[in-house]
């Protein structure tokens, strides 16, 4: 079977057997298509058994010199994503299909520097959350979206998939299906629950989605599914109010997720609990936030160490 057909089978495997999200599958398709195109143009390899370490070495060199449309070289982390996708595909061929090919364990991932995250301090959060004007449904909805993102640490894909009937406003919690179809319980702050309740009271519809668009043609088919906000819409909403608030960084929904995690850690939450609330499968993913606690420890040291005190 040709490599392109095997790649198509692998993507179906990710969707059906592994339960990967559409976004993950789209990214893997992009990365593997790039590998297949490069292989076709730069090698005589046509079958899985033809792939060897020399081919991988040349492909990695190609990625290191590849420039995006804006002329900027691919970031090292983006190069890593390509290699991760290739390794996953090779493992699928060996384990699931019993097709001889290069062992993925022989392909080393490039070392990455420490990952940094952008987050907002309490004053910046306050400015952002208070920036929407709530005199109409659009402003009220946007205020509720910002409060919900900061209260829960939801991924944008998780937020847009929410339905109004799954949110328990009395218990201030709901279940959400995250990456890898992993189910977790998400908790609402008192403030976020109040804003969701107020927003829903203002709506005259019975549409299923929790957050809907309030402009354009109303389409009530399939419980108003076509009225549901998209991930891009949420990103634009956050960006709009970040600019209005004069924030020093380019804020995104993920910035609010980072801010949610750092807020908990600085206030004393343990990292294992934060891991559960974020829906991280591995504690290593959550440890990217420890730089925040390090900053907090520096403040504690300055405030309480005896040699810092002025006589």
User: What CATH number corresponds to the domain at position 136?
Assistant: 1.10.443.10
Residue 79 has pLDDT above 80, yes or no: yes
Out of 106, 135, 160, a domain closes at: 106
Asked if residue 45 belongs to a domain, the reply is yes
Asked if residue 308 belongs to a domain, the reply is no
Residues facing residue 270 across a β-bridge? none
Residue 93 has pLDDT above 80, yes or no: yes
The catalytic residue positions are 155, 179, 254, 257, 280, 289
- Do 168 and 225 lie in one domain? The reply is yes
What local confidence, expressed as pLDDT, does residue 178 receive?
83
- Do 102 and 126 lie in one domain? The reply is no
Q: Which residues, other chains included, contact 37 with Cβ-Cβ below 8 Å and sequence gap of 6+?
A: none
Q: Give 62's pLDDT tier (boundaries 50, 70, 90).
A: very high
Q: pLDDT digits over 12-28, tens only?
A: 999 888 888 788 899 99
Q: Report the distance separating Cα 151 and Cα 49, nearest Å.
A: 50
Verdict on whether the full-model pTM lies above 0.75? no
- Do 43 and 145 lie in one domain? The reply is no
Out of 215, 249, 283, a domain closes at: 249
Domain count, the chain: 2
What local confidence, expressed as pLDDT, does residue 311 receive?
44
What local confidence, expressed as pLDDT, does residue 179 receive?
79
Residue 114 has pLDDT above 60, yes or no: no
Q: Are 164 and 209 in contact (CB under 8 A)?
A: yes
Asked if residue 306 belongs to a domain, the reply is no
Residues facing residue 212 across a β-bridge? 228
Alpha-carbon separation of residue 7 from 36, 51, 310 (angstroms) = 9, 14, 67
Q: Report the distance separating Cα 200 and Cα 285, nearest Å.
A: 35
If you average pLDDT over residues 183-204, what whole number do you get?
95
What local confidence, expressed as pLDDT, does residue 249 receive?
83
What local confidence, expressed as pLDDT, does residue 21 receive?
77
User: What CATH number corresponds to the domain at position 87?
Assistant: 1.10.150
Beta strand segments in 169-252, E: 173-177, 183-187
- Do 127 and 220 lie in one domain? The reply is yes
Q: What is the mean pLDDT of the chain?
A: 89
Task: For residue 157, give its domain range.
Answer: 122-249
Q: pLDDT digits over 63-74, tens only?
A: 999 988 778 898
Residue 299 has pLDDT above 80, yes or no: no
Residue length of the chain = 311
Structure tokens, 20 = 């990967």
Q: How far is CA 175 from the centre of its chain?
A: 18
What local confidence, expressed as pLDDT, does residue 228 receive?
94
């Amino acid at each position: 079977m040709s490599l392109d057909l095997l790649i198509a089978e692998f993507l179906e495997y990710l969707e059906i057997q592994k339960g990967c999200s559409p976004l993950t599958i789209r990214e893997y398709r992009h990365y593997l298509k790039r590998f297949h195109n490069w292989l076709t143009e730069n090698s005589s390899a046509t079958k899985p058994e033809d792939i060897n370490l020399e081919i991988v070495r040349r492909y990695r060199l190609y990625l290191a010199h590849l420039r995006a449309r804006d002329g900027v070289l691919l970031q090292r982390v983006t190069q890593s994503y390509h290699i991760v996708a290739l390794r996953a595909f090779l493992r699928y061929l060996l384990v699931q299909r019993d097709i001889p090919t290069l062992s993925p364990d022989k392909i080393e991932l490039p070392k990455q520097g420490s990952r940094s995250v952008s987050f907002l301090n309490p004053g910046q959060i306050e400015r952002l959350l208070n920036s929407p004007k709530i005199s109409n449904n659009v402003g009220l909805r946007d205020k509720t979206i910002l409060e919900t993102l900061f209260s829960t640490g939801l991924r944008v894909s998780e937020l847009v998939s929410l339905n109004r009937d799954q949110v328990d406003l009395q218990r201030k919690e709901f279940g959400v299906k995250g990456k890898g179809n992993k189910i977790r319980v998400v908790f609402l702050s008192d403030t976020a629950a109040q804003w969701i309740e107020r927003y829903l009271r203002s709506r005259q519809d019975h549409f299923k989605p929790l957050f809907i668009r309030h402009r354009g043609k109303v389409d009530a088919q399939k419980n108003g599914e076509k009225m549901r906000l998209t991930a891009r819409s949420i990103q634009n909403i956050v960006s709009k109010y970040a600019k209005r608030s004069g924030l020093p960084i380019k804020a995104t929904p993920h910035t609010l997720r980072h801010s949610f995690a750092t807020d908990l850690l600085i206030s004393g939450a343990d990292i294992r609990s934060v891991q559960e609330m974020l829906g991280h499968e591995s504690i290593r993913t959550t440890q990217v936030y420890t730089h925040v606690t390090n900053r907090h420890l520096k403040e504690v040291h300055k405030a309480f160490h005896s040699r810092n005190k002025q006589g």
